[in-house]
Structure 1
Amino acid sequence: MRLKHLELQGYKTFAARTDFAFKGGLTAIIGPNGSGKSNVADAIQWVLGEQSFGRLRAKRSEDMIFTGSNERARMGMAQASLTLDNYDGWLPLDYGEVVITRRAYRSGENEYYLNGTRVRLRDVSDLLAQSGLSKRTYTVIGQGLIDQALSLKPDERRALIEEAAGITGHQAKRETALRELDETRHNLERVQDILGEIEPRLRYLKVQARRAEERMQVQADLDTQLRIW
């Protein structure tokens, strides 16, 4: 799997539709200060589901949208699309190419799409987590991250390495499974308590039902004898 295209429209400084093609090998995006190089990296993180505005160098969702210039009016929506080559089946989808799209509106609403079909953020996150390409696996390494990692405490560095290796996702699933197992155990104990409360009552009702049946049988026998007489 590899990144083939990044298409931006209305995203930060990219008002017009702009397509970045990533061919095999290394690709360098160069340009003067203020030309939008960092915004390209931000856009990749954004499409992958990043929710931290700090990591996206923004304060709110609306900051993703082109604010306008002397030549162009501000836009009402930002859109970014990643096209991934999936012919090796790295992503668990039956598509040779997978297009992930995210849109942001000035209302604060965000939309997510997989190959043109609208999905939830959770759907995108779960898909990427299965492939090790989630928003927090350090697919995109920002400036200063290496220096920051070297200054971490051992426990913090281990947590960072586990997160980058994708272990964190498995740990989260394990914790969720253990929590659900614990809830199931509590529910089972509650059911057993309820059964313990109603079993004596059930036994009493069974005795009463048997006596009622016996009385009905005696009454039926008596009615038969009366008709014979």
Structure 2
Amino acid sequence: MKFSRLRLLGFKSFVEPGEFVIERGLTGIVGPNGCGKSNLVEALRWVMGESSYKNMRASGMDDVIFSGSGTRPARNTAEVTLFLDNSDRSAPAAFNDADELQVSRRIEREAGSLYRINGKEARAKDVQLLFADQSTGARSPSMVGQGRIGELIQAKPQ
């Protein structure tokens, strides 16, 4: 299984629908300050089952929903969908009957999150297990969040 696309709607700074193609190999996200680089990484973590709002740089999980701006009203929902290329049939048996998997998470303000795998309602644990079987997930060291490189550089030997 490989990440192929990420679709966002109303997630943090991504108020309008946006879709990002994730090419094979190493992917880096670059751009000027404030363009949403960290929000993309957090969207990946969130759709893969991140349960700690603190790890999302938020004071509550509803903070992942676009909160409005001077020119745009706040949204009441946010949704992230991760598309996975499963043409190699490496997904767990329960999900291994399609070339592409879709994992989505939707949150409504003050109502909580709902997960879906290929359009069917799923538990957070099901999503977390899907990615754990692939040695990745919301807390994978392969996804480097904001400030993490600086922390490593500044770390003292123990």
| TM-score, with length taken from structure 1 | 0.61
User: How far has the Cα of 1:114 moved from its partner?
Assistant: 0.3
Q: CA deviation at 1:123?
A: 1.1
Q: In 1, Cα distance between the equivalents of 2:41 and 2:148?
A: 14
1:139 corresponds to which of 128, 142, 152: 142
Query: Where does structure 2 lack aligned partners over 5 or more consecutive residues?
Result: none
| 3-state secondary structure, aligned to 1:41 | helix
Tell me what 2:124 maps to. Answer: 121
Moved over 3 A (4+): 25-28, 148-153
Deviations 1:128-168 (A, max 9, x none): 22221232332312232661896586xxxxxxxxxxxxxxx
**Partner letter of residue 148 of structure 2?**
G
1:6 is matched with 6
| Cα drift, residue 28 of structure 1 | 3.5
Aligned length: 153
Structure 1 position 111 matched with structure 2 position 114? yes
TM-score (norm 2): 0.87
**Residue 163 of structure 1 aligns with which residue?**
none
Separation in structure 2 between the aligned mates of residue 101 and residue 112 of structure 1, nearest angstrom: 6
In structure 2, distance between residues paired with 1:38 and 1:75: 20
Contact 2:128-2:137 within 8 A present in 1 as well = yes
Taking the TM superposition and a 5 Å limit, the aligned residue runs for 1:173-192 are: none
Taking structure 1 as reference, are residues 111 and 30 closer, same or farther at Cα in structure 2, changes over 3 Å only?
A: same
Q: Could you tell me which residue of structure 2 aligns to residue 30 of structure 1? A: 30
| Aligned-partner SS, 2:53 | coil
Percentage of pairs with the same residue: 36
Which structure 1 segments of 5+ residues have no match?
154-229
Shift of the 52–86 alpha-carbon distance from structure 1 to 2, 3 Å rule, reads same
- Cα 1:109–1:151 change in 2 (3 A) is same
Q: Is the 8 A contact 2:12 2:63 kept in 1?
A: yes
The equivalences for 1:63-212 within 5 A come to: 63-92=63-92, 93-142=96-145, 143-144=147-148, 147=152, 151=156
Q: Distance in 2 between matches of 1:87 and 1:149?
A: 41
Secondary structure at the residue paired with 1:147? helix
Q: Which has the higher strand share?
A: 2
Contact 1:61/1:108 (CA < 8 Å) preserved in 2? no
In structure 1, C-alpha distance between the alignment counterparts of 2:51 and 2:28, rounded to whole Å = 26
Give the superposition deviation at 1:62: 1.0
Q: Which residue of 1 aligns with 2:18?
A: 18
